[in-house]
Structure formats: structure tokens, C-alpha cells
Structure 1
Amino acid sequence: MKVSAIAVLAGLLISAMVSTANAYELSVTVTLEGNTEPVANAVVSVDSARPATPVSAEIYQKDRAFHPHVLVVPVGSSVDFPNRDNTQHHVYSFSPAKTFNIELYADRPAAPIVFDKPGIVELGCNIHDHMQGFVVVTDTADTGRTDTSGKVTLSLDTLPSEGSQGTVTLEIWHPRLPDNTRPVTREIERDSESAIVTLNLEPEPAAEGSLDRLQQRFREL
């Protein structure tokens, strides 16, 4: 028995209507624990069935720092690490989500690094100990970063339905978490359109000091 084109079209329209009905925007505000100070650059995500598409990105080194300090990319993305300093760098990570080692180099590495597992990847430089950066690798498209007012809006198409118990789990990460190797979780009501969450953060790190002797050796190529 053949299914008519009208029946197929009707089914698609009903599916689209259900999807639209389930879609909504969730506004999340992140503040510092103990006061109402907004927390900028917190990465907020909701686990959903909407996978993110891999991208090509870069983290460059300039003035002996990683730019950006935090990069958020989907699983499967490739990241290049161009060196725009007049000193060499040695970029590495020991993080379980991605372990790699780009030995001492200038200009641009031979190939980008592919981040094929979700998680928090901490970056370092074997020549400049103060250098620190992060790659947040996510497996959901429902991910965003708070602005200077501590707010982020996630456009959610679908939410996990099994075992949700009427709540939605938010994952929040910030580089100054006491344990910044993993996000913290917060439960909010499933039908909430807005939420306020608080984070306990470490103080801002001290400013970089002058170059030590080892760094001076590699200042000029």
C-alpha cells in the first residue's frame, strides 16, 4: 500500500509543530557565590539530542599568552596553534580529554590538533610556565558563554525526556573554579525560562612578572 504525498506532508508538518512546541529559550545568569557580582565567560550547556558541528579554529600565542584564553569547540573540531611571538613556544596538554605535545616551535605547527573527546583541556607552555589556556570540548549544540552581565541565552530545541524527573541539568564551567578540570552541575525546573546559579571561584591570578633567564634565552629566534 502506497502512502500518499499528502499523508507524508501531513506527518512532516505535525513533526515540525511538535518540535516547535518543545523549543524555547532558557536565560541563565551566573553570579559569584556570596554576592550578586556577575560572572563573565562561564560556559553553560544543557545535554540534549542536538549535536554540534565540528569547526576549524585557532588559539594563537602573542605576548606570551594564549588568545583566546578559553576556546569552546564541538567534538571533532581541529584547532591550530600559530605562534605570533618573537619567542618560541612549546604547547602541551596532559588532560584526559586530549593529551598532546607540540615541541618547541616558531610560526605555525605542521598540523592542527583534533579534539575528538568532550571535556576540559588545559593548555600550557613548557618554556613559559605562567602561560595557561583552555579548550572546552562539547558534544551538544546547546552551549553558550556568559557575557559581562553574567547572562547567556540558550535556544533549546529538545531536552532529554527519560529520567528527567521534572528537572534539567545545567553544566557550568569557568577557569577559576576550585577544580577547573570538570564542570559543576545545577538542577533547575524543567519548564523554567530563566535561572540564576552561583559559582564559588578562586581569586583572579596575579599579573605576569618579568621574563626569567630561561625565557630570555628563547626571546629571539
Structure 2
Amino acid sequence: MRIAAIAVMAALLMTAMPTTANAYNLSVTVTVNGSTEPVANAVVFVDSAEQAAPVSAEIYQKNRAFHPHVLVIPVGSSVDFPNRDNTQHHVYSFSPAKTFNIELYADRPAAPIIFDKPGVVELGCNIHDHMQGFVIVTDTAAAGQTDASGQVTLAIYPKGTEGSQDKVALEIWHPRLPDNTRPVTREIERGSEPAIVTLELEPEPAAEGSLDRLQQRFREL
């Protein structure tokens, strides 16, 4: 009886755990629509049974810019915003995924910001209008950024029976999307690797004044 009970318990545990038997690597190349120009630093992610553990990260300010310009983190992660400039900054966001306001400061804020919901978080500085940054918060471990050749490889752990589906839905984001408040979705045929997807992108913004609309929205709050 004891052996039978142990066998039943083991079977229940196996069915409760996400299966990784159908795990696979997905290679994606992102290019500009209508050309073969690669898109570097595009964020690509896929819904997956695996979720990455929260991390501690930082976005520092130097030469009146955010570094890195785009940070990709798992949901629940904390981000510090140290100021390495010789001037004060006022970092804020009013994005739905995370609204916060770090008033005028030098050196380092008293506490990091916890990003507890997935989504696109746009950063600004209320003192320097041209400063812009993004935090992309994901709820999947299958996430990454394209390299200089526009390529990224993701490890996919399908949910339930999703591994048998013919199509894979990619979520893709880039700061120069016409609407960069959310990713775009591209469906690809599973097994048609390397997958090539295209994006419509806005021209590179000017170094100064690129946050005029964001600054205006902040003042209207």
C-alpha cells in the first residue's frame, strides 16, 4: 500500500509541474519594414511556462542621459536610479505599468523602485526635457534584445499543449515604434527558423527636445 501511495503522489506531482520536454530555442531576426536593415536593441518576448526570478538592477544618469536607455527586467524586480552627473535630476514615470516620482536629487535615491506589473514604463526627467529611457517589465523568461545584426535567440517552454500549435506569437517592442507604449504582435510558423519579422520605425529623434510631448503630459497631470 505504501509503495502504491508513493507512486500516486509522484504522478500527481509530475502532472502539476510544467513540462519542459517540448522546450526549444527560437531564433528571430528583426529588420526594418521594406529593407534588410537590421533592428538592434528590439525587445522580443514569448509567453512561456518559465518565469524569470526578480532581479536587482540600476539605471544611472550620466551626461544627462539614462544608462541603459532600455532595461528589460522580470516582473517584481527592483531598479535603483543613481545620479552620476554633477547636476540634480528629477526622475519620473506616469506609465500605467508603473507610476512613480523621484523628486529633485543628487547621488542616490533613498530606495529603489519595485516594478510589480508587466508592461512598458517610459522614463523622463522633469529638469532635462530631452532625457528619455524605458523599462520593459516581462512576465516570461523567454525574453531578450536583438544584437547589432538584429538577431536574438529565446528558450521557449510551451504552456500545456501549446507546444503542439503551429504558430508562435512574438511580442516585439522598440523605442522608435509609432506607438512605443506597447509591443506589437507578430505570428510566425513554428519550425520556420530562423524567423524574420519586420517593424515600422520612426526616424531617429533629435538628441535634444525629443521629450517635448512627454514633458507636456507631465505638466498637465
TM-score where L is the length of structure 1: 0.85
Matched, 1:189 2:210: no
User: What RMSD in Å do the two structures reach over aligned CA positions?
Assistant: 2.5
Structure 2: distance between partners of 1:156 and 1:29: 16
Aligned length: 205
Which residue identity lines up with residue 131 of structure 2 in the other structure?
M
Residues 20, 158 of structure 2: 8 Å contact kept: no
Residue of structure 2 equivalent to 1:24: 24
Q: Deviations over 1:162-219 (max 9, x none)?
A: 698531110000000000000000011234442100000011111338xxxxxxxxxx
Amino acid aligned to 1:82: P
CA distance in 1, matches of 2:55, 2:23: 25
Identity %: 81
Q: 1: CA distance between counterparts of 2:123 and 2:111?
A: 17
Matched residue of 2:3: which SS? coil
State the 1:49 CA deviation: 1.6
Tell whether 2:207 aligns with 1:207: yes
CA contact (8 A) 1:83 1:106 kept: yes
Deviation for aligned residue 1:19: 4.4
- CA 1:191/1:163 → structure 2, altered by over 3 Å: closer, same or farther? closer
Partners of 2:130 and 2:207 within 8 A in 1: no
Equivalent residues of 1:176, 1:201 under 8 A apart: yes
Distance in 1, Cα, partners of 2:160 & 2:178: 29
Instruction: State the match for 1:143 in structure 2.
Output: 143
Which residue of structure 2 lines up, in the alignment, with residue 50 of structure 1? 50
Greater mean deviation of Cα atoms: 174-183 or 155-164: 155-164
Contact 2:22-2:163 at 8 Å conserved across structures: no
- Offset from partner CA, 1:47-96 (integer Å, 9 cap, x none): 11211100000000000000000000000000000000000000000100
Preserved CA contact (<8 Å) 1:57 1:80: yes
Instruction: Letter of the 2:64 partner, please give it.
Output: R
Q: Gapped runs of 5+ residues in structure 2?
A: 210-221
**CA distance, structure 2, for counterparts of residue 67 and residue 147 of structure 1:** 17
Report the Cα distance in structure 1 between the residues aligned to 2:140 and 2:163, rounded to whole angstroms.
Answer: 18
Superposition pairs of residues 153-168 of structure 1, within 5 angstroms:
153-159=153-159, 161=161, 166-168=166-168
Match of 2:98 in 1: 98
Q: What is the CA deviation profile of residues 21-68 of structure 1, one whole-angstrom value per residue up to 9, with x for unaligned ones?
A: 411110000000010000000000001121110000000000000000
Matched, 1:67 2:99: no
Cα 1:179–1:160 shift into 2, 3 Å: farther
How big is the shift at 1:161? 3.1
Structure 1 contact 47–160 (Cα < 8 Å) conserved: no
2:160 aligned with 1:152: no
User: What SS is found at the alignment partner of 1:177?
Assistant: coil
Give the partner amino acid of 2:39: V
Structure 1 consecutive aligned stretches of length 4 or more whose deviation exceeds 6 Å: none
Residues 167/150 of structure 1: CA separation in 2 closer, same or farther (3 Å cut): same
Deviation of the 1:160 alpha carbon: 5.5
Give the letter aligned to residue 88 of structure 1. Q
- Conserved? CA contact 2:19–2:160, under 8 Å: no
Q: SS of the residue aligned with 2:177?
A: coil
SS of residue matched to 1:137: strand
Is residue 2:92 matched to residue 1:89?
no
